[in-house]
Amino acid sequence: MIPAIGRTIDDLSTPAVLVDLDVLESNVGRMAARARDAGVRLRPHAKTHKCPEIARLQRAAGAWGLSVAKVGEAEVFADAGFDDLFVAFPVVGEDKGRRLLSLADRARLAVGTDSVEGARTLARPFRDVGRSLDVVLKVDVGYGRVGVLPEQALDLARRVGAVPGLHLRGVFTHAGHGYLADTRAGVEEVARLEGERLAAVSAELRAGGLPVEEVSVGSTPTAAAMRVSGVTECRPGNYVFHDASQVALGTCSVADCALTILATVVSVPGAGRAVLDAGSKTLSSDPLRPRPGGYGQVLGRASRVEKLSEEHGVLEVAEGEVFRVGERVRILPNHACAVANLHDCLVGVSGDRVEALLEVAARGKVR
């Protein structure tokens, strides 16, 4: 798809992923200001957009390096000139260690870990050439995904820090369970505990004689964790776009959502049903959080996508609404990060005017 820059979204072929550049810039600026006010470094998670262009905006607004999820994403951003990268994932494998070693020539690097066994696989290539890789210990503050429990963190930090070829930089966490809290107060409580538990672990490590340079929290709904004393870094990702889940969680309003999908109604086969040319390959099949509720909201209407197959998005038409074949609608997706990963490029718009093409350069870099 080659959109006509300077023309309107009516000229785009659908489905197309639109990013409102004005909303994007204001989201980027607001989170940068929150981090500045809290006195922490902002290291945005680039897995949300995977676009060097958007990462440049974040850097211009004051971001201090980037977080990524995979070594392959780190390689793309290093190629684009980003020289301070944290792979916020427990990377395991000597093949990855070798790729990290070659990345270390062009970027300040760190990698997450939650086991000595895993960390050793990365250490070998560094140790063999007399160098060391910075690792950051992942702590589980309640999400129950990866990470060492706080009470076992000191012991693991000592053992990881003693592996030749590794240097322990600090601790990090991700409170993904904030997405499951069904009240705003619940989200805020997760954020408070995220910051406090991680700060307590860092204090224990320091008391145990280990240097802790970085205490890194991060998710968009729980970004307030950055205000807890002792936290040094914050890694939100989704905030650049926001999505229907952030609206449902009370993180933002619909007006703060930058990413939408432009789709065409391709069939109105019966009363109460209209079908779009955007299915799971466009919208992803990620559920709405914190409670399930369809697969995308039609902007400005009450109807939403209730069923998905790969290329079809089936709207349950709300009472009083009418959809016509050929009509175009904009859909607010449940999870903007998953949508970006499904597309080669995002169309930057200002109002209805097409302004830019943003390449999703790190899409699909799962290794």
- Strand order across the 66-68 sheet: 41-42, 233-234, 214-217, 166-172, 133-138, 108-113, 84-90, 66-68
24-55 exposure pattern, b = at least 16 Cβ within 10 A, e = fewer = bbebbeebbebbeebebbbbbbbbbbbbbbbb
Residue 27 engages ligand PLP in binding (rule: CB under 6 A): no
- How far is it, in rounded angstroms, from Cα 145 to Cα 40? 25
Residue nearer to ligand PLP on the CB measure, 235 or 304: 235
Q: How far is the CB of 237 from ligand PLP (least distance, A)?
A: 3
- Residues 281-340 binding ligand PLP (CB under 6 A) are 337
Residue nearer to ligand PLP on the CB measure, 99 or 335: 335
Nearest residue to 274 (alpha-carbon basis) of 216, 212, 230, 329: 329
Judged by CB under 6 A, which stretch of 14-22, 100-108, 125-133, 215-223 contacts ligand PLP?
A: 215-223
Of 27, 58, 113, 219, the one binding ligand PLP (CB under 6 A) is: 219
Residue 88 engages ligand PLP in binding (rule: CB under 6 A): yes
Peptide bond into 290 cis (omega under 30): yes
Residue 50 engages ligand PLP in binding (rule: CB under 6 A): no
| Binding string, residues 58-77; x marks residues near ligand PLP by CB under 6 A | ---------x----------
Residue 238 engages ligand PLP in binding (rule: CB under 6 A): yes
Of 113, 202, 220, 280, the one binding ligand PLP (CB under 6 A) is: 220
Nearest residue to 332 (alpha-carbon basis) of 266, 268, 288, 364: 288
Of 48, 58, 280, 282, the one binding ligand PLP (CB under 6 A) is: 48
The single residue listed with the structure tokens 């820090």 is 161
Q: Return residues touching ligand PLP (CB under 6 A).
A: 45, 48, 67, 88, 174, 218-220, 235-239, 337
